[in-house]
Chain A
Amino acid sequence: MRTRHSMDKASPRLNRYFDVNGWLFVAPAVLLIAVFMVYPILYSLWMSFQTGRGMKMHFDLTANILRLFSDPMLGLALYNTMIFFIVQVPVMLILALLLATMLDDKRVRFRGLIRTAIFLPCVSSLVAYSVLFKSMFVQDGLVNTTLLDLGLISSPIPWMTDPFWSRVLIIIAITWRWTGYNMIFYLAALQNIDKSIHEAARIDGVPAYGRFFFLTVPMLKPVILFTTVTSTIGTLQLFDEVRNIMTSDAGGAAGPSNSALTLSVYIYNLTFKFMPNFGYAATVSYVIVIAVALLSLLQFYALRERT
């Protein structure tokens, strides 16, 4: 690596010249990030120890933290996030992995076309696709009439009014939007795998599912971990879908009895919907910060172990 950087062997005067240039090049970005990321996140930390209404705040080290533990809405938001994490993330990733392995097979015709089609949902705007799903899943709408016509159900499914089905709807929607995205990562990783190992296993009589579980999956482990962590972080930050599929102007609830309330929606409501309580909202936002930090650390260490 050292030979790549001629400044190592340059004269002190030239070194200084390069160093000054280096700082000038990175300065605008560093400044912007300092002002719009680092300062706010520290500000938010300070705010999380403030309590009161509106602009009348006073310092209290423990009030907000204690409130976290007796807040049923926060419990509900965490519970919903866990459901999405436990049900939606595995379903989506398994689907993405299956699709990727199928599309990696050179014998499959129209691969490019099918790949583009499956990838297309990630191009759509989150809000636009949410309202499309809302229109398809209304009580007497397309999905229910189709299912009724096919005889799969005997009465319309209450997608928007039942807590259980509203969660199912959110899961279907997110899966539609993000499966193709994850598939692209798997496809790229599959294309880097040495095909001769697969060929050897095939000749040795290992069946397709055996090769999938004992060759493909282990070799894709880093990518699978990466997609799991990014999907989980995405779930923690879920906002656009819940607000646009479940919420109407009439009320601030996120779905029937807040069955789709997520942490981000809750923070938004605490800040801009109810009587604003910036201090407590900041404390709740640190719940996400800590969760994301832990997940990222997990990914970092798990990936480092391998290299």
Chain B
Amino acid sequence: MDLYFQRLRGGLVYLFLITAAFLSIFPFLWMVLGATNTSADISRGKFGLGGALFDNIVSFLAFADVPLILWNSLKIALLTTLFTLAVASIAGYGFEIFRSRLRDRLYRVLLLTLMIPFAALMIPLFIMMGKLHLINTHWAVILPSIGSAFIIFYFRQSTKAFPLELRDAARVDGLKEWQIFLLIYVPVMRSTYAAAFVIVFMTAWNNYLWPLIVLQSNDTKTITLVVSSIASAYYPDYGAVMVSAILATLPTLIVFFLMQRQFVQGMLGSVK
């Protein structure tokens, strides 16, 4: 009897888990199959392979300058990531290695900025960008994202695991402080950089609200904006929407599967 109940419970657990896993994957499957179907078929809820893939690609290519849009997204995401990692890791290292009461206080103020919701920044930032003549440039998207208190926090936390013997030995050998950072800290902390890379890249690639405000001309738009605008037509061409969604999702999926461990580690970094 007891064994019977145990089996039943085991079965229910599997049923629950498999249902959850299936529902989680399903929209991805729907997206891939949808890219092969006509808009009418998608709106009718047809679930299966169709023959309209080529037409959908053609109609998406007609909707936007796709190579340029993808290049814009990639450029913004990579530059944001590069600058954020550089600035945040230098700061995280600085706050942890050169301790002073004043800097610790400043660090606490920096952490407070984590609480600022973006909605409260977007109006003043928009006015600032207007005054700097940066509207419709990619710098308007990149500049405000570089100073990330969260990534500074992440690097400072990780620096606590950096062996100080390395630093002291380097000092004895006469290395300057910036040389210690560049030649010893950076190579030693590779995996921290990898995790931060994944987080910043994904955030930058998926960013929507701020680019929506500052990138108004068609030649500066990102793939996220194009997905949104092609889908917001009164009668959207869902086939082309699916193709655009695949292009918007693929890079982050690839990064995820290549760096799954760092990805999860990076996400958990915030509760250590």
Residues of A within 8 A of B (CB): 4-7, 18-19, 21-26, 28-33, 35-41, 43-44, 47, 95, 98-99, 102-103, 105, 108, 113-114, 116-121, 123-129, 131-136, 138, 140-146, 176, 179-181, 184-185, 188, 208, 223, 226, 233, 236-237, 239-240, 243-244, 247-250, 263-264, 267-268, 271-272, 278, 281-282, 285-286, 288-289, 292-293, 296
Chain B 252-269 near chain A by CB (<8 Å), digits 1 or 0: 110010001000100110
**Provided the pairs A128-B245, A248-B234 are in contact, do residues A140 and B119 lie with their beta carbons within 8 angstroms?**
no
* CA of A247 to CA of B202, assembled, Å: 25
Please pick, from B87, B94, B119, B228, the residue contacting A243 in the complex, using a CB distance under 8 A.
B228
Contact B18 A114 (CB under 8 A): yes
- What number of residue pairs across chains A and B have CB atoms under 8 A from each other? 283
Most chain B beta-carbon neighbours within 10 Å: one of A18, A30, A35, A125:
A125
- Determine whether B49 belongs to the interface, using a CB cutoff of 8 Å to chain A: no
Please pick, from B25, B126, B208, B264, the residue contacting A126 in the complex, using a CB distance under 8 A.
B208
Complex interface residues of chain B between 107 and 144 (CB less than 8 A to chain A): 110, 113, 115-128, 143-144
Contact B147 A36 (CB under 8 A): yes
* CA of A43 to CA of B209, assembled, Å: 20
Residues of A within 8 A of B236 (CB): 131, 135
- Determine whether B195 belongs to the interface, using a CB cutoff of 8 Å to chain A: no
Contact A267 B122 (CB under 8 A): yes
The residue in chain A whose Cβ has the minimal distance to the Cβ of B34 is: A135
- B43 nearest CB across to chain A (Å): 5
Most chain A beta-carbon neighbours within 10 Å: one of B97, B117, B127:
B117
- A307 nearest CB across to chain B (Å): 13
- Determine whether B1 belongs to the interface, using a CB cutoff of 8 Å to chain A: no
Residues of A within 8 A of B61 (CB): none
Contact A21 B45 (CB under 8 A): no
Residues of A within 8 A of B232 (CB): 244, 247-249
**Provided the pairs A138-B43, A278-B123, A288-B120 are in contact, do residues A25 and B227 lie with their beta carbons within 8 angstroms?**
no
**Provided the pairs A44-B124, A184-B268 are in contact, do residues A127 and B208 lie with their beta carbons within 8 angstroms?**
yes
- A245 nearest CB across to chain B (Å): 9
Most chain B beta-carbon neighbours within 10 Å: one of A103, A128, A264:
A128
- Determine whether B31 belongs to the interface, using a CB cutoff of 8 Å to chain A: yes
- A185 nearest CB across to chain B (Å): 6
Instruction: In the A-B complex, list the 4 residue pairs whose CB atoms are closest, starting with the nearest.
Output: A25-B94, A22-B98, A32-B147, A142-B45
Contact B231 A131 (CB under 8 A): yes
Contact A226 B271 (CB under 8 A): yes
- A229 nearest CB across to chain B (Å): 11
Report, as a range, how many residues of chain B touch the other chain.
Answer: 35 or more
The residue in chain B whose Cβ has the minimal distance to the Cβ of A188 is: B268
Identify 19 residue pairs between A and B in the complex whose beta-carbon atoms are under 8 Å apart, listed by A's number: A21-B178, A23-B103, A25-B97, A31-B147, A117-B21, A119-B24, A120-B25, A135-B231, A135-B238, A136-B30, A142-B30, A179-B20, A208-B9, A239-B119, A244-B231, A264-B118, A267-B123, A285-B123, A288-B119
Contact A264 B25 (CB under 8 A): no
Contact A118 B20 (CB under 8 A): yes
Contact B43 A248 (CB under 8 A): no
Residues of A within 8 A of B115 (CB): 289, 292-293, 296
Complex interface residues of chain B between 142 and 169 (CB less than 8 A to chain A): 143-144, 146-147, 149, 152, 164, 168
- Determine whether B248 belongs to the interface, using a CB cutoff of 8 Å to chain A: yes
* CA of A271 to CA of B101, assembled, Å: 41
* CA of A136 to CA of B241, assembled, Å: 12
- B244 nearest CB across to chain A (Å): 8
Contact B34 A185 (CB under 8 A): no
* CA of A274 to CA of B208, assembled, Å: 20
The residue in chain A whose Cβ has the minimal distance to the Cβ of B230 is: A131
Contact A289 B271 (CB under 8 A): no
Residues of A within 8 A of B146 (CB): 32, 36
Contact A136 B120 (CB under 8 A): no
